[in-house]
Amino acid sequence: MKNQIKHFILTMIIAGSIFTGCKKDEDTVPTPPAPTNEGEVLTTFTLYFTDSANSANVASATFRDPDGDGGNPFTQFDSIHLQANKTYYAQVVILNETASPADSISNEILEEANDHLFFYTVTGANANVSITDFDTNTPTPLPLGLQTKWRTGAASMGSTQIILKHQPGVKDGTFAPGTTDIDLTFHTKIQ
CA torsion 173-179-182-183 (nearest 10°) is 80
Its pTM stands at 0.77
Neighbouring C-beta atoms of residue 25, cutoff 10 Å: 9
Q: What is the DSSP letter of 10?
A: H
Dump pLDDT digits (tens) for 76-101.
Answer: 999 999 999 999 999 999 999 999 89
List, in order of start, the domains of the chain with CATH numbers.
44-190 (2.60.40)
Indicate if the pLDDT at residue 2 is higher than 90.
no
Task: Write the Ramachandran bin of 178: left for phi over 0, alpha for psi from -120 to 50, otherwise beta.
Answer: left
Alpha helices, H only, 28-153: 105-111
Dump pLDDT digits (tens) for 139-176.
Answer: 667 889 999 999 999 999 999 999 999 999 999 989 99
CA dist 158 to 118, 131, 132, Å?
A: 19, 14, 18
